[in-house]
Amino acid sequence: MFSLSIKEMTFFKLKYLLIGFILFFVAALVFIISGLANGLANDNASSMKELEVTNFYLAEDSENRLDRSQFTIEQAEKAKDASAFGVQMQTTEKGKDGKKIDSTFMTFENEKLLPTIIEGKMPQNANEVIVDKTMQEHGVKLGSVLYLPSVEKKVKVSAFTEHFTYSHTPVIVIQPALWEKVGFTYNALVSTSGTPAQSIDGDWSTKEDVVAQIPGYSAEQSSLNMMLSFLIIIAVFVLGAFFYIMTIQKVQQFGILKAIGAKSKSLIRATMLQVFILSITSITLAALFAYILPLFMPEGMPFVFEPTVILSYGAALFAVSLIGALISTISIVKADPIQAMGRVE
């Protein structure tokens, strides 16, 4: 029956190619939306996800939101086995032309939490900063002077990092000395392990809970995940219908094969083998398509190919295909050899 399955697929090439294309486009659409969801999540919270911390100590009633949590310098100094962390969304102006750039200021009392530098060198004084490389799109270079209008200070870019954004804005890492000098308050205490007791009022929150409360993060992910869920549901019906129709069209052939001695079990195996080959080939090609797609996307498009996520969605589509085909095999069991032979006559 193995050779019979392959021979049928090669003989009816156009029919099976069309079914394969349908499965390919459904899978590709799922993978692309998944990549966009991961890209938006990364663009919104990459700076937080990159932090090697496990917990955040936030002010009471902040509801895990950094912007609602504030600690004074005096309170931060009382921290036990935790370091101060600050984040402020502000507008920055570039050099002489005064071009405004939406950005986020961050500061880390613990130098071990500073992002990895990909170009330049570590700040040597309080007026030097590290910025995310997406600032280069606005003409910012090493040595560029940035004006912080909210605090009326100028800083110099000493280094670039990457994948360090917050709420879709590039992060500017400011030294704690300048942070305190301009009067900013800290937003949290961070711990790299455990939740040590603190003498100031507040509550410990996990990094995942804090990330989920970044403005717009949950709404974006919920919308995209809802689209993915509906795509999977649509795929169930579309693929199930295709495989059912494909099987129904061959009921007469199944009846004749049964009349000459073929067993239902063998015919079901042959049908499932065809679906297996179609599904594996189409889903694999769709995954490869999603992998190379960023090469042709506009620069700056938030798209992240996450192998584990793609694998999970691919497995789901594969399972949907097999289940749809398995349901359609009921018609194989019901195929009547006598009726099939009668139709031939």
* Helix (H) / strand (E) containing 60: none
More confident residue, 13 or 117: 117
Q: What pLDDT is stored for residue 173 in this prediction?
A: 93
pLDDT confidence bin for 282, thresholds 50/70/90: very high
Extents of the domains making up the chain: 2-44+218-295+303-344, 71-186
Question: Is the pTM value of this prediction over 0.85?
Answer: no
Q: What would the pLDDT profile of 47-83 be if each residue is shown by its tens digit? A: 888 888 888 999 888 888 998 899 888 888 887 788 8
DSSP string, 162-205: SS-EETTEEEEE--HHHHHHTTPPB-EEEESSS----SSS-EEE
Q: What would the pLDDT profile of 128-176 be if each residue is shown by its tens digit? A: 999 999 898 888 899 889 988 888 888 999 999 998 999 889 999 999 9
Residues 6+ apart with CB under 8 A from 44: 165, 166, 167, 168, 214, 216, 217, 220
Q: What pLDDT is stored for residue 335 in this prediction?
A: 65
Cα(103)–Cα(334) distance, integer angstroms? 66
Q: What pLDDT is stored for residue 9 in this prediction?
A: 75
Give the range among 184-188, 193-197, 270-274, 276-280 with minimum mean pLDDT. 193-197
Q: What pLDDT is stored for residue 334 in this prediction?
A: 67
Q: What would the pLDDT profile of 297-339 be if each residue is shown by its tens digit? A: 887 778 888 899 899 989 988 888 888 778 777 776 666 666 6
Cα(345)–Cα(116) distance, integer angstroms? 78
pLDDT higher than 50, residue 31? yes
pLDDT higher than 70, residue 343? no
Residue 94 three-state SS: strand
